[in-house]
Amino acid sequence: MVEILGALILLSVVAAIVAVLTPNILHSVISLGAVGFLLAIIFIFLSAPDIAIVQIGVEVISLVILVRATIGRQAQSSETPGHLVTKVAGVALVGVIAVFGIRMFSEFPKFGIAVMDRFVDAPSATYLRDGLADTGAPNIVTAVLLDFRAYDTLGEAVVLFCAVLGALTVLRRKARVETEKSEDEPI
């Protein structure tokens, strides 16, 4: 089980390296799609079916948005190679963080011990034990999301609202430029 997970994560790391290093942007977007779909499979192996459904839907929509932004504009041509100093600095910084990170993860509890077992009176144990009785919902993830921690979901809805508002505002002047050509009401 751990070997299958390790192999899948290694595959997604390879796809991520391809996405970052290739000069053609369209190839980069396709590799990003590979990372996302592999991640959905990894989530199913980690017993998180809820997350896998959301990940597949979100990955499809983000791929469509990125491909439409790339094709038709000159992003497809390869980018000019950057300075060597930037690349060396990037590799050095990433290397330092990797060394300290691997040192830290070797002191973590072994993979397979859930975070709620690592200390006493974790809230998740209460949610699993009393979730069905308190809320009446057999899906404990939904019960946590919409009953025990509903305030966080309100925050998420507000963030999504503001992000969409920002995107619509940034793209809006285009309609007014076109209305000078076509005498229409701006939205």
Partner 1 sequence: MIYSLCLLLILIGLYGVMVSRNTLKIVISLVIMEHGVHLFLILVGYRSGGTPPIIDRETLSAAFTAQAVDPLPQALVLTSIVIGLGVLTLMVALCVRLYERYGTFDITEIRRLKG
Partner 2 sequence: MSTTDRDPGMGMIVKTVARWLKGFILLYGIYIVLNGHITPGGGFAGGVIIACAFVMLTLAGGDQHGLQFFPQRAASSLDSIGLLIFLVVGWLGTWWASGMFFENFIATPSDARFELFSAGTIPISNIGLGLKVASSLFLVFTVLAALRLTAHDDKEAEKR
Q: What is the four-CA torsion angle of 123, 53, 38, 24, rounded to 10 degrees? A: -120
Kindly determine how many residues on this chain lie close enough to bind partner 1 according to the rule CB under 8 A. 89
Residue 174 phi/psi, 5-degree rounding, is -60, -40
Asked if 97 touches partner 2 (CB under 8 A), the answer is no
Residue type at 94?
A: V
The correct pick among 71, 134, 164, 178 for binding partner 1 (CB under 8 A) is: 164
Print the binding letters for residues 108-127 with partner 1: x by CB under 8 A, - otherwise.
x--xxxxxxx-----xxx-x
Give me the half-sphere count of Cα atoms (radius 13 Å) on the Cβ side of residue 97. Answer: 6
Q: Can you give the C-alpha Rg of the chain in angstroms? A: 23
Q: What residues from 68 to 87 belong to the interface with partner 2 (CB under 8 A)? A: 68-69, 72-73
Shortest distance, CB of residue 126 to partner 2, whole angstroms? 16
**Exposed, middle or buried, 116 (CB in 10 Å: 0-12/13-18/19+)?**
middle
Give me the half-sphere count of Cα atoms (radius 13 Å) on the Cβ side of residue 99. Answer: 5
The correct pick among 94, 96, 125, 150 for binding partner 2 (CB under 8 A) is: 150
Asked if 17 touches partner 2 (CB under 8 A), the answer is no
Binding site for partner 2 (CB under 8 A): 49-50, 53-54, 57-58, 60-61, 64-65, 68-69, 72-73, 132-139, 141-143, 145-147, 150-151, 153-154, 157-158, 160-161, 164, 167-168, 171, 174-175, 177-179, 181-182, 184, 187
